[in-house]
Structure 1
Amino acid sequence: MKKPIRARIFNFFFKPSSPYPLAFLRISVALLLITQLLWLYKSLPLLYGHQALIPWPVSQAIMGNYTPNIEWVAGYADYLHISPDDVLWIFIGVYLFVLVVFLLGIFTRVMAVLVWALHYMLVNTGFMSAYGVESFAHIILFYCIFMPVGNAWSFDARKGNKQADNEWNTLSVRVLQLHLCIIYFFSGIEKAVGIQWWNGEAIWRTLMQDQFKQFDMSWMAYYPWVAKIICWSTLLLEIGYPFYMWGTASRKYGLIAIILLHLGIAVFLGLQLFAVIMIIFSVAAFGKLKPRKALGHSGAAAQKITESSIIF
């Protein structure tokens, strides 16, 4: 006998599930942002410094006086007798420290708020260099404030014994899933409106731009059908995302296809960090992190999680 619709909807959003997808999200985004800092280490003054490509007074004027940025902190530099450049490096040091603590899952929710706020200030300061990776990182960090991302693979979980299935894990993952479905579906629809994604011009123009060009792809001019197939495949993957990701049989192959799509973006467009954060987002939402359990007898506790692995 089928369950009533109301019960099925309730189970869909609140049936207890594993905390591991959210823990994976926390760890992955923290590692990505730490990697981004180390990657850009030599360019940080050029991107975010007092006399950067876009100096602080200019960025403040563009973004508005009520938009938090590093210049807000620099206002206290005179009291501390330090230079604006020193303010930048102190800010980066604090940001890096908070990211590491967040990664380890110590005072996870508090650290999530701090990481989100510091990341927001950093992006506002160097907004001219920001692109998709900053936007999606900011979205994920915002979710981390409210979602139980510290309930597994964290010091908080060890101290509070939170490594258990619960309804808040399920609700959080459903929010991630619905958000991704909206993003991909409407991104595909927007692309499909223009002729460039049907005649292959969109991918041709992108691959030939100096800012994205990683290889000599001029040979595609002699094989226009290659560009068309790439464009059509992208449309199919993005518009079809909500449909094949909700199908139990098709989800595994759809997730693999999305991962391959973003790996292609990383290799051929040089947008490695953007590709990685989109893979993280999809794997956390639709890849299932299933704990393996080992039996161990210690009083009343008979089972303990010993290791985990990603399965689809």
Structure 2
Amino acid sequence: MNSPSLTLSRGIARVTESALGPYQSAVIRIGFSATWLLFLLREFTHRQELYGPDGPWGWDMARQLTDDNHAFTALMWSDGQAWFEVFYLLAMLAAVALLLGWRTRTASVLFMVGVLSLQNRSVFVGDGGDNVLHLMSLYLVFTRCGQVWSLDARRAARAEAARARGERLRPDRVGVLLWAVLGLALAGVTLAGRFDNGRLVPALLWTVWVVLGLWGAVQRWARSPEPRILLDVVANVVHNAALLVIMAEACLIYSTAGWYKIQGSRWQDGTAVYYPLHLDYFSPWPALADLMSASGTIMMVVAYGTVMVQVAFPFTLFNRRVKNVLLVLMMTEHAVIAVVLGLPFFSLAMITADAVFLPTSFLLLLGTVAARAWGRLSRRGPGDGPALPSPRSPQDSTAGHVGFTA
């Protein structure tokens, strides 16, 4: 029988020696970046009305609000049309980079800047999914979400293979150049006094920049392995803590939503689902909404089932089978919401948040199916694709974080 001290030491070793949940963190990276990118693409023709300097929520009103709540948004640095267009494009490019896992740590920071800047520019734009995306964009900065299913992982695997063959690795010039350019941009913005409204985000940006520089310097010039091991342990602990926060955030969303529903009279009598189905704003398919709401029994079952699933979910995490069943139910519910109520981005954000609880075996199967489908589409053999490192392989602790990509 294991002693408590032995169990504790094993737990500490597990948390410090590896970044847990590599596939789960990769899924949430891909899911949230894809959600944001698709939203920006869909609203591209309406970007002026949503976030532009001449939109209904004008630049002066946004300035007054950010002066009061100290929210960070880079769109307040200038009221010019050119700056808005450039920044909107940069936000899309950052989402693409994070989606592909290119320079993941840097891409996650730029992704966060894009999300916060656009959302804080017009706080009344959103459908609920924007709040989830807002929080998760902050949490992703602290995760090592490029361990698998990313260009960083492929580059790390190739470097490991070259090292095994005894080849000399080329220095990471792209990472150094990217780090230097972003440092100059940060210095220019800081000296120009553009960080007046935001307090937390500027400090976070400078901290990440310094850490990236330190990481790159240690990886390149440290002669002994101790500094690398120390930085790797710190990165693992931060990643695991951030992943725990993401899981707790998802549980908090569902538990608070469920308990608030219990207090509502419409949820108590089982009619709450009926009303949004007959609002013009939430009825892209009126015939489908009428068909679903034709049965009072179905409406009552959906209403009561929604409340029970949301309240029960945090307590099912201790039972894998029950948790997986509720995950299927919740993801199915969000898929139905996306179609019936016309809220695709809210549903995508929630499904992505749910994905952090998916079992690794299922994600591995999903990755295999996706790789085979991609191989057929690109007319390549199954051995031509890049090898993805196993979550338990030695390079997992550094995959996606080589040199200045930490």
TM-score in terms of structure 2 length: 0.63
Which residue of structure 2 lines up, in the alignment, with residue 74 of structure 1? 78
Alignment of 1:112-131 (within 5 A): 112-131=108-127
Which residue of structure 2 lines up, in the alignment, with residue 55 of structure 1? 58
Q: Answer with 9-18 or 266-275: which moved more.
A: 9-18
Secondary structure (helix, strand or coil) at the match of 1:51 reads coil
One-letter amino acid of the counterpart of residue 111, structure 1: A
Which structure shows the higher strand fraction?
A: 1
- The gaps in structure 2 that reach 5 residues or longer are 161-234, 369-385, 391-406
Secondary structure (helix, strand or coil) at the match of 1:261 reads helix
Q: Answer with 3-12 or 129-138: which moved more.
A: 3-12
Contact 1:30 1:100 in 2 (8 A): yes
The sequence identity of aligned pairs, in percent, is 22
Q: Distance in 2 between matches of 1:18 and 1:222?
A: 43
2:317 paired with 1:264: no
2:97 paired with 1:101: yes
Secondary structure (helix, strand or coil) at the match of 1:203 reads coil
Aligned pair in 2 of structure 1 residues 38, 222: CA closer, same or farther (>3 Å)? Answer: closer
Q: Alpha-carbon deviations, 1:161-188, whole Å to 9, x = none?
A: 599xx96565544333222222211210
Secondary structure (helix, strand or coil) at the match of 2:364 reads strand
Q: Distance in 2 between matches of 1:191 and 1:2?
A: 44
The Cα of 1:158 is off from its aligned counterpart by 3.5
Q: Answer with 40-49 or 105-114: which moved more.
A: 105-114
Contact 1:177 1:286 in 2 (8 A): no
One-letter amino acid of the counterpart of residue 249, structure 1: R
Contact 1:70 1:121 in 2 (8 A): yes
Which residue of structure 2 lines up, in the alignment, with residue 192 of structure 1? 262
Contact 1:245 1:254 in 2 (8 A): no
The Cα of 1:193 is off from its aligned counterpart by 1.2
Contact 2:154 2:388 in 1 (8 A): no
Contact 1:200 1:228 in 2 (8 A): yes
Q: Distance in 1 between matches of 2:147 and 2:318?
A: 26
Alignment of 1:10-159 (within 5 A): 11=11, 14=15, 16=18, 17-64=20-67, 66-74=70-78, 84-159=80-155
Aligned pair in 2 of structure 1 residues 30, 219: CA closer, same or farther (>3 Å)? Answer: closer
Q: Distance in 1 between matches of 2:364 and 2:151?
A: 20
Q: Distance in 2 between matches of 1:45 and 1:272?
A: 21
- The gaps in structure 1 that reach 5 residues or longer are 76-83, 294-304
The Cα of 1:222 is off from its aligned counterpart by 6.1
The Cα of 1:273 is off from its aligned counterpart by 0.7
2:204 paired with 1:204: no
The Cα of 1:231 is off from its aligned counterpart by 0.7
Which residue of structure 2 lines up, in the alignment, with residue 297 of structure 1? none
Secondary structure (helix, strand or coil) at the match of 1:64 reads helix
Contact 2:334 2:351 in 1 (8 A): yes
TM-score in terms of structure 1 length: 0.80
Q: Alpha-carbon deviations, 1:218-256, whole Å to 9, x = none?
A: 567764332211110100110011123431222221111
Higher relative contact order structure (alpha carbons within 8 Å, sequence separation ≥ 6): 2
